[in-house]
Amino acid sequence: MADYNEQVNRWWDEWTAETGQDSGDPDDFIAWAVASGRLALRPQAVRQALRRQVTQALRQAKRWDEDGGFTYRAKQCVMVMEGGTPHTHYFDIDTGGTATKRQKAVRQRREAVAHNVYRAVCDTERMNKNFPDEPELNFFKDFTDDCAELRAAETSMLDEDDGEEAA
């Protein structure tokens, strides 16, 4: 018997075949899957939905660093082991956590970024292999310029906001 993720992927493939789309919006897929009786909330789904909403709110909380001139996430998460079971804990970056949790959070975040970059490189290689007659896709792994551009854009947005208040 297929697990839940395998079922959803099978239904997605069925939906894209039925609709003839080469890509799709998950909301459209969900509407189709619910209407056709394929998809329904599982008993644990309500708790999971609430957890997702809470963790999203925690991840999206931002503050402004006056000295550095940038926003930062106010809450950080770290995976900790409790009784041999992994648990995600959140802490306030300005007032909470411990030195060990802060270091572990930074290390885990970097590992996650490295994993995402690796996946993107593999995906890019696969697309290039599957579509050799199209222009080659490139995935640049150096994000130094991206970080500088994002910092400049954030500072520029702040300058614009200050200009509007002064007007």
Residue, of 142 and 155, whose pLDDT is higher = 142
**Tens of pLDDT, residues 83-102:** 999 999 999 999 999 999 99
User: CA nearest 88: which of 108, 103, 73, 71?
Assistant: 108
Backbone angles phi, psi at 64, to 5 degrees: -105, 130
- Give the list of residues 6+ apart from residue 16 with CB closer than 8 angstroms, or none: 22, 23, 24
Distance CA 66, CA 139 (A): 34
Q: What is residue 27's predicted lDDT score, i.e. its pLDDT?
A: 92
What is the pTM assigned to this prediction? Answer: 0.66
Which single residue is written with the structure tokens 């002064």? Answer: 166
> What mean pLDDT is predicted for residues 148-160?
85
**Tens of pLDDT, residues 6-63:** 999 999 999 999 999 888 899 999 999 999 999 988 878 888 988 999 999 999 999 9
If you ran DSSP here, which 8-state letter would residue 104 be given? Answer: H
Is the per-residue pLDDT at 131 higher than 90? yes
